[in-house]
A and B are shown apart, each in its own frame.
Chain A
Amino acid sequence: DAGVIQSPRHEVTEMGQEVTLRCKPISGHDYLFWYRQTMMRGLELLIYFNNNVPIDDSGMPEDRFSAKMPNASFSTLKIQPSEPRDSAVYFCASSRQALVSEAFFGQGTRLTVV
Chain B
Amino acid sequence: DAKTTQPPSMDCAEGRAANLPCNHSTISGNEYVYWYRQIHSQGPQYIIHGLKNNETNEMASLIITEDRKSSTLILPHATLRDTAVYYCIVRAHSGNTPLVFGKGTRLSVIA
A residues bordering B, Cβ < 8 Å?
4, 31, 33, 35, 42-45, 48, 50, 55-56, 91, 93, 98-99, 101-108
Contact = CB atoms under 8 A, between A and B. Distances in A.
A103 B43 CA distance: 11
Task: Pick from A33, A101, A108 the residue with the most CB of B within 10 Å.
Answer: A101
B69 interface: no
Interface of B: 34, 41-46, 49, 87, 93-104
Contact of B42 (A55, A103, A107): A107
Nearest to B48: A101
A48 B98 contact: yes
Contacts of B42: 107-108
Contacts, number: 51
A101 B49 contact: yes
A101 B34 contact: yes
A42 B103 contact: yes
Chain A residues touching B, majority SS: strand
A31 B99 CA distance: 12
Contacts of B87: 43
Contact of A56 (B93, B96, B104): B96
B44 to A, nearest CB: 5
A96 B44 CA distance: 17
